[in-house]
């Protein structure tokens, strides 16, 4: 087992990562009866994609002996209704400009093929952009 989740009431959950004992909380968003005081579960879907992209790119960057420390990802989540679901995730990744073209292509391919990107349902549009300007 990876984690244990407890419903705390008031549309809030607490998840405990069993190996590290670190915790995260979720709240329902304000447009779905929640307080919006924490990330929503659908926010975490989008955050999972962006962090997986950066982590996978970091692994590949280490293999290439390239430093991408302080790279950043900005995420926009688009919701649809009927049924209520995430319809599109936009991720804009900003990376150092001093990386050569071949390494850029390798890193972008790594980001595009991270495990979360490959796990997202094909009905969810993924718009993944890379900005080499840091």
* Sheet with strand 125-132: strands edge to edge: 72-80, 85-95, 125-132
Number of domains in the chain: 2
- For residues 18 and 54, membership in a common domain is answered with no
Q: pLDDT for 102-127, tens place per residue?
A: 999 999 999 999 999 999 999 999 99
Mean pLDDT over residues 18-41, rounded? 96
- Does the N-terminal peptide bond of residue 23 adopt cis geometry, omega within 30 degrees of 0? no
Residues 25 and 56 in one domain: no
On whether both 49 and 26 belong to a single domain, the answer is: no
Give the range of the structural domain holding residue 18, as residue numbers without chain letter: 3-32
Given a cut of 90, whether residue 1 has pLDDT beyond it is no
Residue 63 and residue 10 in one domain: no
Handedness of CA 95, 123, 40, 1 (dihedral sign): negative
> Same structural domain for residues 51 and 76?
yes
Average confidence score pLDDT of the chain: 97
User: What's the rounded mean pLDDT across residues 44-58?
Assistant: 98
12 and 71 inside one domain? no
What's the pLDDT band for 134 if we cut at 50, 70, 90?
A: confident
């Amino acid at each position: 087992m990876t984690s244990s989740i407890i419903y705390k009431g008031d549309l809030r959950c607490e998840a405990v990562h069993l190996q590290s004992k670190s915790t995260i909380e979720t709240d329902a968003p304000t447009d779905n009866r929640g307080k919006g005081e924490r990330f929503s579960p659908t926010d975490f879907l989008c955050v999972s994609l962006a962090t997986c992209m950066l982590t996978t790119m970091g692994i590949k960057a280490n293999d290439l002996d390239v430093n991408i420390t302080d790279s950043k990802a900005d995420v926009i989540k688009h919701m649809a209704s009927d049924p209520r679901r995430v319809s599109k995730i936009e991720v804009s990744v900003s990376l150092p400009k001093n990386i050569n073209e071949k390494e850029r292509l390798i890193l972008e391919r790594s980001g595009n093929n991270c495990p979360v990107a490959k796990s997202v349902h094909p009905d969810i549009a993924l718009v993944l952009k890379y900005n080499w300007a840091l």
